[in-house]
Amino acid sequence: MRPGLRSLAIGLAFLVPGVLPAAAVAAEDTIGLCVSAETRALLKQEMRQLLEAVHGIHAALAERDFEVLTERAAAVGAAMKGQVEHHGHGHPPGLPHEFVKLGRATHTAFDKLATLSSEGGRPRELLPALSTVTSNCVSCHARYRLAGEADCTVDE
């Protein structure tokens, strides 16, 4: 990475609200989510799709291909949330309200990014919107983890 870009990246890290404190949370401070194997697989699949979308958005932004950026962001916005609910894979009971709320906010942030891009947004507008998306990702991973089976047994 060029020195100027590295300095910019470091500077932006300090400007993104909540990223540094969230990243500093120790693993023992995370909330373990006890979910079924099926739910675990669904959550992992959704997270992979979100990560792939972020990568595709970065690549499209680097190429200044705003049509592709819009498509990739919109695909994991409300469209993805609706697809999950349509197939009966809504958020299962037992997930913390704040976890579900953060997930919904992330899909909404992708929609905002898609809208900005489709309306002719420029990188100086798109980067903060993308930063909101990734800040949600960092916050969620800093706060929650999928608990292991041994952590979820109930003593009788």
State how far Cα 115 lies from the chain centre.
17
CA dist., res. 58 & res. 23, Å (int): 21
Residue linked to tokens 């870009």: 5
19-38 per-position pLDDT tens digit: 444 344 445 689 999 988 88
Highest mean pLDDT among 18-32, 89-103, 122-136, 139-153: 122-136
Strand partners of residue 31: 144
- If one compares 18 and 105, the residue with the highest pLDDT of the two is 105
| Token couple for 76 | 């994991």
Q: What is the pLDDT of residue 155?
A: 58
Q: What is the pLDDT of residue 89?
A: 54
33 — phi, psi (to 5°)? -95, 115
- If one compares 47 and 16, the residue with the highest pLDDT of the two is 47
37-82 per-position pLDDT tens digit: 888 898 999 999 999 999 999 999 999 999 999 999 999 998 886 5
Q: What is the pLDDT of residue 23?
A: 41
3-class secondary structure, 156? coil
The pTM of this model reads 0.75
Other beta carbons within 10 Å of 75: 16
Which CATH topology does 26-148 take? Four Helix Bundle (Hemerythrin (Met), subunit A) (1.20.120)
Dihedral angle over CA of 100, 105, 110, 116, nearest 10: 170
- If one compares 93 and 65, the residue with the highest pLDDT of the two is 65
CA dist., res. 4 & res. 10, Å (int): 10
- Residue 148 pLDDT exceeds 70: yes
End-to-end CA distance of the chain: 55
Phi-psi region of 26 (alpha: psi -120 to 50; beta: other; left: phi over 0): beta
